Amino acid sequence: MTKAGQTIAATGSAAGIGCASDGQHVGPTETQTDVATGLVQLTALVQGIYARVSERHGLTPVQAKLLCVLLDGPRGMADLAHCFGVEKAALTGLMDRAERRGLARRSPAPDDRRALRATLTDAGHRAATAFHAEVSAELSHLTSPLADDDREHFRSTTAEIIARCKTAPAPDRG
């Protein structure tokens, strides 16, 4: 088994890999794993790491995401709601909790007095920076067993997929 395969096997049970819907164990092999299955399994691994690091920092995963998004600078509430895929009312609750903890604040948007924008406080910036550094290091361990060329190919391929999805129209699901 390759070093990458050993890493996946070692972390697979925590991510739900190897469980069929009928409860029978299904051991993933390189030939059994199609792209969709691989992406679902990788998603589970990433979400598990994100959740564990969030917990170590006293944050929920969604609070950690909010802080990381705000690291790039102030964002409008409507923009944040779109980013999180929720209604503005749901985002209001998240911001209320972040403000109570002293991690973020809302202020009037300079270009629209009816709108609010969210920014990090100094404490929020420190928390976001620490979380981001730790989660980045943990996520890097997923690809560290890969050869440099393979890691670069993975990086460029994921960047291409992400860029294409950001510019492509949403598929019609109706």
CATH code for the domain of 151: 1.10.10.10
The DSSP bridge partners found for residue 112 are 109
Q: Does residue 173 lie in a domain region?
A: no
Residue 103 in any domain: the answer is yes
Query: Is 171 a domain residue?
Result: no
Please give the residue range of the domain that contains residue 127.
3-166
**In a 3-state reduction of DSSP, which class is residue 168?**
coil
Tell me what the pLDDT averaged over the chain comes to: 82
Which residues neighbour 53 within 8 Å (Cβ) at sequence distance 6 or greater? 64, 131, 134, 135, 138
**Could you report the per-residue pLDDT of 120-165, keeping only the tens digit for each?**
999 999 999 999 999 999 999 999 999 999 999 999 999 999 999 8
Indicate the number of domains in the chain. Answer: 1
72-130, pLDDT tens digit by residue? 999 999 999 999 999 888 899 999 999 999 999 999 988 888 889 999 999 999 999 99
In a domain, 172, yes or no: no
- Angstrom distance (rounded) from CA 118 to CA 105: 6
Tell me the per-residue pLDDT of 14-37, one tens digit each, with 9 for 90 and over.
333 333 333 344 455 554 568 889
The candidate with the shortest Cα–Cα distance to 78, out of 62, 66, 64, 92, is 92
Question: Given a cut of 50, is residue 6 above it in pLDDT?
Answer: no
